[in-house]
Amino acid sequence: MRLSSVEVIPYALPFERPYATARGVLEQREMVLLRVRDEDGVEGLGEAVPLSLRGGAGLALVVRELEAWAADQALEAEGLSAPARCAVSVARMDLLGRRAADEGGGEDEAVPCNATLVAGEPEAVAADAEAWAADGFTTFKLKLGAESVRTDDMRQVLRTRANRDVEQVRAVREALGAEVRIRVDANAAWDLETAKVRLSELEPYEIELAEQPVGTLEEMGELAASTSIPLAADESVASLDEAEEAAALRACAYTGIKLSKVGGPEEALRIAGVLPAYVTSALDGPVGIAAGAQTALSLAETGHPERLHLAHGLATQRLFAATIAAVGCEVRDGMLHLPPGPGLGIEIDEEALQAHRI
């Protein structure tokens, strides 16, 4: 496919309030919009979300890679970092979808989503969960393992962190009752022994799954044998090879898939053919969220359609104070609804994009 123009546009969106995880605190999310046009003027949009907090490619590297690809489209996308590959893959997918679509757009499509709760004091987390529940959400994801205090006594830090993790889960369960699903995500903050203790403390609260409690697949395999809580991979499964290793080790029951982590929708579906999967946001912008939702809809074509009861982590646009989309996905009734237009259906608000460029 010959492209007549390619734009690489780094931008950042601020959060409503700081987003705290075990890997750090973010005030805003830096991203890269990739906009391509073919010789007929048809546009395709892609997005890269650098994952530097997870040890991945940073913003500057992703921008350089995409600018190099823009200058030489014969450059193999496979040689790019995963976020850059994702942007190229999604832009091509969007362009093809817009070219192939009939006039008038498509039917309303939606995927079930979990609420994403920012770590904090238990009472505040429970209040946040109640607000999401009022909007129709029935699955809630809690970030655990984040430091709440810093003292000279590391033992006190660890005790405070442990108590806070359990108290947050207890507060949400007590506030919302037994019917809702609660999943937890430690972002590999725990060592193996800590994870065994922490999950045993959480077992009474009927946890749906624990995402990336420890750092390696080998540790997850040992942990899985010691807990009744199903484990899900995240950071440790970023490729088809790692998915196959996880399956061989019986390390996890599921894997969360971030498009910018694995390199785009095609690799995501290959991974989902090996491990039951749900699609999660890397705190994406509107283009990445729409691509994630379309990937989630495609999971019925993988080898594990029976696991489609799992909610997807794609309602994170609620965490932002701004957007660059004039037309985008809508979150309502616990579902993410895709826009009805061709391709991804995303339309950019040019003034907002200029305001958030970096």
* Shared-domain flag, residues 298 and 316: yes
pLDDT at 163: 78
Range of the domain at 175: 110-337
351: in domain: no
Cα torsion through 173, 139, 307, 231, rounded to 10: -50
Read off the tokens for 122: 């238990």
pLDDT at 293: 97
Q: Which residues pair with 295 in a beta bridge?
A: none
pLDDT at 104: 45
Read off the tokens for 343: 């391709």
pTM of the predicted model, to two decimals?
0.90
Residue 76 vs residue 35, higher pLDDT: 35
Q: Please say whether the beta carbons of 254 and 224 come within 8 A.
A: no
Q: What is the pLDDT of residues 279-312, one digit of tens each?
A: 999 999 999 999 999 999 998 777 776 666 799 9
Q: What is the rounded CA–CA span in Å between residue 262 and residue 236?
A: 11
Residue 45 vs residue 302, higher pLDDT: 45
* Shared-domain flag, residues 153 and 50: no
Phi, psi angle pair for 177, to nearest 5°: 90, 180
pLDDT at 145: 83
Write the CA distances from 31 to 17, 50, 116, integer angstroms.
18, 7, 20
Domain boundary among 60, 76, 103: 103
Helix ranges (H only) for the chain are 59-71, 82-100, 122-134, 154-176, 192-202, 217-224, 240-249, 259-262, 265-272, 286-298, 350-356
- CATH number, position 43: 3.30.390.10
Judged against a pLDDT cut of 70, whether residue 335 lies above it is answered with yes
Q: What is the pLDDT of residues 226-280, one digit of tens each?
A: 999 999 999 999 999 999 999 999 999 999 999 999 999 999 999 999 999 999 9
Average pLDDT, integer, range 39-68: 91
pLDDT at 48: 98
344: in domain: no
* Shared-domain flag, residues 217 and 69: no
348: in domain: no
Q: What is the pLDDT of residues 88-104, one digit of tens each?
A: 999 999 999 999 975 44
* Shared-domain flag, residues 59 and 116: no
254: in domain: yes
Judged against a pLDDT cut of 60, whether residue 71 lies above it is answered with yes
Number of domains in the chain: 2
- % of residues, the chain, pLDDT over 70: 90
Domain boundary among 76, 103, 130: 103
Q: What is the rounded CA–CA span in Å between residue 349 and residue 179?
A: 40
* Shared-domain flag, residues 81 and 133: no
* Shared-domain flag, residues 81 and 182: no
* Closest among 349, 252, 283, 225 to 18, alpha carbons compared: 283
How many separate helices (H) and strands (E) can be counted in the chain? 11, 15
Judged against a pLDDT cut of 50, whether residue 153 lies above it is answered with no
Average pLDDT, the chain: 91
* Shared-domain flag, residues 53 and 130: no
278: in domain: yes
Amino acid at 206: E
DSSP letters spanning 102-142: PTT-----EEEB-EEEPP--HHHHHHHHHHHHHTT--EEEE
pLDDT at 51: 87
Domain boundary among 48, 76, 103: 103
| pLDDT band with cut points at 50, 70 and 90 for residue 323 | very high
Catalytic residues: 143, 258
- CATH number, position 196: 3.20.20.120
* Shared-domain flag, residues 98 and 114: no
